[in-house]
Amino acid sequence: MGYLRFNYRSQSLGRYVDISITYPTDHYSYYDLMKEKKGTHDDAHPISLPVYHPGMKFQTVYLIHGGGDDDTTAMRYTLAERYAQDNDVMVVCPNITNSFGVDTEYGVKYQTFLSEELPIIVQSLFASSPAREDNFIVGFAMGGNVALGTAIMHPELYAACVDISGGIGMTLDSQMIKDELNGDHFRNFFPLFNTSFGKAEDYDGSRFDLYTIAKEKKAAGVELPKYFIHCGENEFIRYRVEGDVRILKELEYDVTYIVEPGLPHDFNMFNEGIRKAFYELLPLKREHRRPF
């Protein structure tokens, strides 16, 4: 697997940001092994491999990290890189810090970065297919909510979304998040939550109001992604996850809910969710796309 950590100045964030990118390079050759011999290790046992060619494009999974993590965490704490290699996809992990993936009330536009700037940068500078059918968003923990919210707000970007253990931040349950904003827990232990989303009384109809946005997208008849929500049986945030599942079903979204027996809210659960996303849930072609 090829790994690249890319750093550039984001206009929407107003600072330099890190992005981890992986390519499934182990399954490719720079020449036709069945026709040529160049004295490489692969010549000893030649097999048919696809050959690199200018303009080749890969299906792309945007993988969003959890709270307290960064763009490298998914690669270091799970087998995401191996799963991507096996399934012949490119992975993009942006560093969004503890932002909840929103255009925050304190002025930093993380949702604009994720949904407007990042796809353009990735598809312009790297071998990422721009076709909607080739793009997917997956996240775990805080990143699960980010993936869900971004896919609801921007259904034109992704063919499918996988929310793994999403228990903090964006939600379709408007009353729940307003209660959280009015409560003492986040105010006392994680005040960034309140400073990101603002006041509960300003929530309805705002850019954070995921329920209203989801309802409007459905009524407009736009093409919607497939949604998969995956949660461990013993996760302390399960009630919050199931609220999103219930509301998506009420809105008649295409959503599949998966409960993983015996698993809590940890990287064992997140790894299983990522594994299941790559091998079972996402509609992957498992071969790179030709130039457009």
pLDDT per residue as tens digits for the range 44-91: 676 778 899 999 999 999 999 999 999 999 999 999 999 999 999 999
**CA separation for the pair 37, 186 (Å, rounded):** 63
Domain count, the chain: 1
Predicted local confidence at residue 287, as pLDDT: 80
Q: What are phi and psi of 239, to 5 degrees?
A: -60, -35
Is residue 287 situated within a structural domain? no
Summarize pLDDT for 133-168 with one digit per residue, the tens: 999 999 999 999 999 999 999 999 999 999 999 989
**Across 204-216, average pLDDT:** 98
Predicted local confidence at residue 43, as pLDDT: 64
**Across 246-268, average pLDDT:** 98
Is residue 116 situated within a structural domain? yes
Tell me the average pLDDT of the chain.
95
Domain residue limits at 195: 2-281
Is residue 93 situated within a structural domain? yes
Summarize pLDDT for 85-113 with one digit per residue, the tens: 999 999 999 999 999 999 999 999 999 99
Summarize pLDDT for 7-38 with one digit per residue, the tens: 999 999 999 999 999 999 998 988 888 888 87
Is residue 58 situated within a structural domain? yes
Is residue 286 situated within a structural domain? no
Is residue 289 situated within a structural domain? no
CATH code of the domain in which 144 resides? 3.40.50.1820
Predicted local confidence at residue 292, as pLDDT: 43
Is this model's pTM higher than 0.75 or not?
A: yes
Is residue 163 situated within a structural domain? yes
Predicted local confidence at residue 289, as pLDDT: 64
Is residue 288 situated within a structural domain? no
